Structure 1
Amino acid sequence: MSWLQKALTAIRHPRPFIAPRMLARTKFDYRREVGDCLDASVVTAPVQWLQRSLPEARLAVRRRQRNGIVKPLDDHDLLALIRKPNEFYGDIALWFGTVLSYCIDGNAYWLKVRNRAGRVVELWYIPHWLIEPRRPDSGDGAFLDHYRYSPGGGYQAMRIEPQDVVHFRHGINPHNLLKGLSPIDGVIREIFADLESSNFVSSLLRNMGVPGVVISPKGGAMPTPDDVAATKAWFTEQFGGDRRGGPLVMGAPTEVHPYGFNPQQMNMSEARDVAEERVCACLGVPAAVVGFGAGLQQTKVGATMEELRKLAWHNGVLPLARSLADELGRSLLPDFADGDRLEAYWDTDDVLALSEDEDKQVERKLGEFKAGAITLFDYLTETGRDADESHKYYLRPIAVIEVPLNQAGRGNELDPADPTEEAEPGRAKARGTKDAKHGEGDHDRAGRRASAEEMKRGEAYVLMLQRQEAGLRKAFEKPLLALFGKWRGETHRVAAEILGTGKARRCAATKAIDDELLAAILEKLGIEAWAAELTQAYGAHYLEVAKAVQDAAERAGLGTSLPDPVMRAIVASGGRRAGLVDLDKQTRQAVFDALAEGRAEGEGVEQLAARIADYVEGGVWNEAETRARIIARTETKFAQNISTIETGTAAGVEEFMVFDGRLGPGRSLESHIARNGSIVSADEAAAMADAEHPNGTLSLAPHFDLEND
């Protein structure tokens, strides 16, 4: 056996460590005297505060999809089960018991009850003193063998398998690696001191209400034992309980001397404050929030109650909630379908103590987004809102232009001494008299840069296009969603029909991917007709974009109308773009993935047909809404650029200004940053538009040579 194997074996089967039950430097068993702490107010007060506070947050489940998007699942079966764990109590009572055991013992247990199909249908809280994790008796390599449940009441101890227990642990107890460590175990002496202080005062009040007295006869008389007992009983009866403070009349000369301490001398508040502070510190809750006197004194030295409540949530409730949610994800979520892609968490949106913090966070994130430091996707996800790929962009004012440090104060003019502005090989040469005007001859066009005044005019045109863009995108999303919904209905009908055949049912029973079944579904879908419908939708959208660009061009001084050939050319561009979408490949992959995942989860014909229809409708984006948004955004931007080129060319414009790479280094490609402000030909502009990324920021504007104006 290698040293590594020996080490692993030692971890799984540690030698029994008998921890001394006595605390350090004492032989008195404080743990045994304190007991279960259920009668110790110094413990139950902060624990009950945690019990009441935790339900303010809402337990939730979310799914992380293949594209990284997080989707809340408000109707998940796990949440329904916890809301009604059994027929005798609900989720609040379940969490109350769980928090109690977790805070006092460091261990809390739920018992799973399954039906005949093995599905968890009930959850039961088990007090921590009734159940114990056990190691295997034989060295078979298992770390945990079973749980021993001793319900009492004459019932024999039961063996429960680990998969039927949800075991919430507070960390790991080094004396017993199978259990958690009690958070209050280190303050047992302080808890004992508080109990003893309470018992002392209670005993004093119960006996007499005043410190003890010495009653002795005068004159050297010696009373008999019977006289002593009778006097003691008479005095206790006459001056104890409700008769406290009554007059004392003796029948013979008698001296009465009080002994002990007066109430001021027996003030134990400072000692009890220490216990309150340390117990609350171990549970992460400020004493003032609970209502202890020690904490209320703290609020007089600057800390407000509102701040202390926030501190209690951050140090006490949230760490507790995260620990509970983590164990649910490990021990309970896997009992539900697709549990490996789910995670449990606590939604704190409705927690009053944290509301201001969340408002400040949202305000800060909004400021970062407006400043262009984060994307809209980052802002939405970090503030708990829905987001998708279409939101991955920055918000930057169009009038803001990046200026390299070595060009500060010189505008956008080309610096001949700057080697970074040299022409790139392979660019088309400048043509006509304009090149002669600039004195460049056959110099590469990459050296042409727009002046500050030219950029200002171009920005005004680009800004008009940007204002049109949102409305055009939304208008294109509607027919796309209708088209995808139509494809979904057809797919569901075809898939249900083919999956309902005997051959398909036999295939599904063996969970085998049948290529013939896949081909049969694709053949009946009529993807060629789908492609024609998509081409028609693209063409109609490009026509609308061309009309909007024509309006912007008219304001920019490029004429009042577009010739029909130009309009047809723009619409044809949309048809060519639609032809680039490989619907056959996308649909094939969607059906393949749906069949594989649906069979892996044991779905029936109807469920499998619905899954296939959803996958086909969503395409590579998994959701129809996301698919429509991304296509609408990409095609609207491309259509605007192509329409600008065609419109400008029809009006006699030979050159266009490039606006790109304006998100800065690290966010935009260096080549896109370099070409911002450059002047290119119509052919070069069209090539740039064709090569643009779906999330690109390329915009084009007609270039008017101001030197010839």
Structure 2
Amino acid sequence: MAGNWLSWLRPKDESAAPMGMYISPYVSIKNVNLEPQDALKNPTVFACVNVLAETVSQMPWSTVDATKAGFAPVDHDLNKLLRRPNSSMTRVEFKKKIVSDLMVYGNVYLLKIMTSQGRVTELVPFDPPKIKCTISMSGARTFHHEGGRTYSEREIIHIRDFISLDVTGLSRVEQAAELIVQANTLDSNLTRSTRDSSKLSGVISVAESVPPEQAAAFTADWKKKYGGDVTLLGGGATYTPMTKSSPADSETQELTKLEIARIASIFRVPSAFLELYDGSKYSNLSQKNSSFYRDSISPLTKNISEKLSQALITDPDKEIAFDPTELTKGDLAATTKIANESFNAGILTLNEARNLAGYSAVDGGDKFVEAPKSPEPTSHNDYDANSTGQYGPRTSEGYSNE
């Protein structure tokens, strides 16, 4: 068979490379070694860590009176340190660093810069991979920096996330490494599927028989010219396109959502906060935020505040705490309604109610109002419905409508 009919397939540049590289969907993910910092390249991991770090970093913190309910700030020398933890970081950056290290590595190491009198003037975070923590037979911990210096427990504040029998906290990323690699593999396959969806692939049949070497040359030239895979068969000069999967396929979408939800559950971030509907129903923003604070943020901030309090405060009546007011009060309409009802019921003063709703205090607004008394219940023995549907006092002769 003449080979000149194949010439229309041949690229002008015979050295043209195939369009893209094939990524095998069959990747072994058993016993994978995933470096924690590399896990942040996964979009879901990055989003979860960012949501938690951003949320906590925006929450005010202060030294408070531990004997009082709620967030009760007090004047304390430690507040200056909380406002500016060190010379190179703002308090927002500092809190972000704590949360991100805790989520990714499972450990936070803060070096206490102290005066000769023992007063802490700065808190400097170390990168967790650079610290090796060991424990002696007596239970004392030491922290060896890869730079060569070894620190004692007096010098380092060690905050752990998930605590097991080990001296260090468990990394959520390391515990979920296989799941994260599986999600990365899915993303790679979706990228390949999207790229390949524009390539022409299928089956071409011709009338005459085709020698194997010419069929191989034909398919090779087709791939160079169009990037797709084609099969050359004998029989009727037709082109049958191959159906390819795409990211828009329902099965692909559901699998992607499942992977996102599974990773998000490890970090206790509701899928709704990643703009992915997971079936959860919230009547309003207040309920959504309250659930997120109770299940995700509160355990995280409590762990951080208790560890800092233990390391920095000696007074048992004082502690470091985060203020959850802005996170839990929800939308303005619901908050204003609660503030108004609490004021009318005598639970809050006017200024406390205004503060809850985000308004400034007013003169004379620090007094409680007397809650209205409930009306006396009406006895059914004295009132009943008459035949006309009207009510009146019952008498021996019938009903009076007076």
The alignment's TM-score, normalised by the length of structure 2, stands at: 0.64
CA deviation map 1:607-659 (0-9, x unaligned):
xxxxxxxxxxxxxxxxxxxxxxxxxxxxxxxxxxxxxxxxxxxxxxxxxxxxx
Inter-partner Cα distance in structure 2 for 1:306 and 1:159: 47
Inter-partner Cα distance in structure 1 for 2:164 and 2:253: 33
Give the deviation of 1:127 after TM superposition: 2.7
8 Å contact from structure 2 (residues 36, 105) kept in 1: no
Inter-partner Cα distance in structure 2 for 1:72 and 1:35: 36
8 Å contact from structure 1 (residues 149, 157) kept in 2: yes
Aligned residue type for 2:74: L
Residue aligned with 2:124, SS: strand
Give the deviation of 1:254 after TM superposition: 7.7
Distance 1:145 1:284, change over 3 A: closer
Asked which structure has the greater RCO (Cα within 8 Å, sep 6+), the reply is: 2
Structure 1 residue corresponding to 2:145, chosen from 139, 149, 159: 149
Aligned residue type for 2:273: V
Q: Percent identity?
A: 17
Aligned to 1:323: 303
CA deviation map 1:316-354 (0-9, x unaligned):
1222112111111012x23xxx54442111123344644
The correspondence of residues 247-266 of structure 1 with structure 2, limited to 5 A, is 258-259=241-242, 261-263=244-246, 265=249
Aligned to 1:90: 90
8 Å contact from structure 1 (residues 214, 258) kept in 2: yes
Residue aligned with 1:223, SS: helix
Aligned residue type for 2:64: R
Residue aligned with 2:62, SS: strand
Inter-partner Cα distance in structure 2 for 1:282 and 1:258: 42
Aligned to 2:187: 198
Give the deviation of 1:194 after TM superposition: 2.1
Matched, 1:101 2:77: no
Inter-partner Cα distance in structure 2 for 1:183 and 1:328: 22
8 Å contact from structure 2 (residues 141, 153) kept in 1: yes
Inter-partner Cα distance in structure 1 for 2:99 and 2:36: 19
The correspondence of residues 592-631 of structure 1 with structure 2, limited to 5 A, is none
Inter-partner Cα distance in structure 1 for 2:102 and 2:336: 28
Inter-partner Cα distance in structure 2 for 1:99 and 1:228: 54
Give the deviation of 1:284 after TM superposition: 3.0
Aligned to 1:60: 62
Inter-partner Cα distance in structure 2 for 1:220 and 1:272: 43
* Count of matched residue positions in the alignment of Structure 1 and Structure 2: 321
8 Å contact from structure 2 (residues 53, 96) kept in 1: yes
Write 1 or 2 for the structure with the bigger share of helix: 1
Aligned to 1:223: 213
The alignment's TM-score, normalised by the length of structure 1, stands at: 0.39
Inter-partner Cα distance in structure 2 for 1:320 and 1:350: 17
Give the deviation of 1:45 after TM superposition: 1.2
Inter-partner Cα distance in structure 1 for 2:371 and 2:245: 75
CA deviation map 1:196-230 (0-9, x unaligned):
11111113334564585567876313336777655
Inter-partner Cα distance in structure 2 for 1:161 and 1:179: 15
Residue aligned with 1:47, SS: helix
CA deviation map 1:30-53 (0-9, x unaligned):
453887421111122122112222
Inter-partner Cα distance in structure 2 for 1:133 and 1:273: 38
Aligned to 1:32: 34
Matched, 1:46 2:42: no
Give the deviation of 1:113 after TM superposition: 2.3
Give the deviation of 1:193 after TM superposition: 2.8
Matched, 1:307 2:287: yes
Aligned to 1:286: 270
Distance 1:326 1:40, change over 3 A: same
Write 1 or 2 for the structure with the bigger share of strand: 2
Give the deviation of 1:58 after TM superposition: 0.8
Residue aligned with 2:169, SS: coil
Structure 2 residue corresponding to 1:172, chosen from 135, 152, 163: 163
Aligned to 2:19: none
Structure 2 residue ranges without an equivalent (≥5) = 1-27, 230-235, 357-369, 373-402
Aligned to 1:72: 73
Distance 1:325 1:307, change over 3 A: same
The correspondence of residues 646-665 of structure 1 with structure 2, limited to 5 A, is none
Inter-partner Cα distance in structure 1 for 2:72 and 2:43: 43
Aligned residue type for 2:131: I
Aligned residue type for 2:121: V
Give the deviation of 1:158 after TM superposition: 2.8
8 Å contact from structure 1 (residues 62, 71) kept in 2: yes
8 Å contact from structure 1 (residues 190, 274) kept in 2: no
CA deviation map 1:417-451 (0-9, x unaligned):
xxxxxxxxxxxxxxxxxxxxxxxxxxxxxxxxxxx
The correspondence of residues 661-672 of structure 1 with structure 2, limited to 5 A, is none
Distance 1:108 1:365, change over 3 A: farther
Structure 1 residue ranges without an equivalent (≥5) = 1-25, 151-155, 241-252, 371-375, 384-394, 398-709
Give the deviation of 1:73 after TM superposition: 2.3
8 Å contact from structure 1 (residues 113, 121) kept in 2: yes
The correspondence of residues 103-502 of structure 1 with structure 2, limited to 5 A, is 103-136=103-136, 139=137, 141=138, 143-150=139-146, 156-174=147-165, 176=166, 178-183=167-172, 187-206=176-195, 209-210=198-199, 213=202, 219-223=209-213, 229-236=220-227, 258-259=241-242, 261-263=244-246, 265=249, 267-292=251-276, 294-295=277-278, 298=279, 303-331=283-311, 333-334=312-313, 339-351=315-327, 353-354=329-330, 356=334, 360=338, 363=341, 367=345
Aligned residue type for 2:134: R
Residue aligned with 1:268, SS: helix
The correspondence of residues 521-560 of structure 1 with structure 2, limited to 5 A, is none
Distance 1:37 1:284, change over 3 A: same
Inter-partner Cα distance in structure 2 for 1:99 and 1:227: 58
Distance 1:48 1:281, change over 3 A: same
Give the deviation of 1:285 after TM superposition: 2.7
Inter-partner Cα distance in structure 2 for 1:106 and 1:171: 7
When the two chains are superposed, the root-mean-square deviation of aligned CA atoms in Å is 4.4
8 Å contact from structure 1 (residues 169, 180) kept in 2: yes
Distance 1:192 1:326, change over 3 A: same
CA deviation map 1:503-557 (0-9, x unaligned):
xxxxxxxxxxxxxxxxxxxxxxxxxxxxxxxxxxxxxxxxxxxxxxxxxxxxxxx
Aligned residue type for 1:73: V
Inter-partner Cα distance in structure 2 for 1:48 and 1:87: 24
Distance 1:369 1:351, change over 3 A: closer
The correspondence of residues 672-683 of structure 1 with structure 2, limited to 5 A, is none
Inter-partner Cα distance in structure 2 for 1:72 and 1:254: 83
Aligned residue type for 2:263: V
Inter-partner Cα distance in structure 1 for 2:102 and 2:30: 26
Give the deviation of 1:122 after TM superposition: 2.2
8 Å contact from structure 1 (residues 109, 165) kept in 2: yes
Residue aligned with 1:32, SS: coil
Distance 1:49 1:32, change over 3 A: closer
Give the deviation of 1:94 after TM superposition: 1.2
